[in-house]
Amino acid sequence: MSGAVPMTVEGHQRLQEELKQLIRVERPKVVQDIAEARSHGDLSENAEYDAAKDRQGFVEGRIQELGDKIARAQVIDPATIVSDKIVFGAKVTLFDIDTEKEVAYQIVGEDEADIKVGKISVTSPVGKALIGHSVDEEVNINVPSGVRVYEITNIEYS
């Protein structure tokens, strides 16, 4: 893979912590599980061995993936951004014209996105549509349920 991977400081720290956990805890545990399964004899009919090898493949793959993303990370601290337009890291408050309800999102990297806590990916349809807009603008966003119209009521960086 090539290209920078944008992420917040918090997201970068979380990926580093996950990588440390995989290297220091999960990898040694999987090696121990494989050794224990081998000691049980015939590997051709050993479900524990197969499960441990599958887990090892997952752990090693995730270690490589995280290492790559961390190496290509473009860490952005939203608190240092001064802009009246929506850019990566912005906390945005929107008014849904149809439902007449307010929603709030923070625009973050793909690995940080979690709609349950109001974090949406910069590459999501909503994230892409909001980038570059200012307070009091109306934005039409194509979502799976149709077109939603939002008015931007607040933008902050913290």
The answer to whether residue 81 scores a pLDDT higher than 70 is: yes
Give the SS3 label for residue 22: helix
β-strand partners of 94: 103, 152
Q: What is the torsional sign of CA 91, 153, 126, 116?
A: positive
143 falls in which pLDDT band (50, 70, 90)?
confident
Q: Kindly list the domain boundaries of the chain, sorted by start residue.
A: 5-76, 78-156
pTM over 0.85: no
Task: Give residue-wise pLDDT tens across range 10-34.
Answer: 999 999 999 999 999 999 999 999 9
When comparing pLDDT for 144 and 151, which is higher? 151
CA neighbours closer than 13 Å in the CB half-sphere of residue 58: 8
Report which of 4, 1, 6, 3 is spatially closest to residue 122, judged by C-alpha positions: 6
> What is the C-alpha separation between 85 and 131, in angstroms, rounded?
8
Task: Give residue-wise pLDDT tens across range 35-67.
Answer: 988 887 777 777 888 899 999 999 999 999 999
The CA-atom distances, in angstroms, between 86 and each of 4, 10, 32, 146, 147 are: 20, 19, 49, 23, 20
The answer to whether residue 109 scores a pLDDT higher than 90 is: yes
- Tell me the one-letter amino acid at 97: I
Domain with residues 5-76, CATH architecture: Orthogonal Bundle (1.10)
> What is the C-alpha separation between 40 and 51, in angstroms, rounded?
14
- What CATH topology corresponds to 78-156? Chitinase A; domain 3 (3.10.50)
> What is the C-alpha separation between 97 and 51, in angstroms, rounded?
51
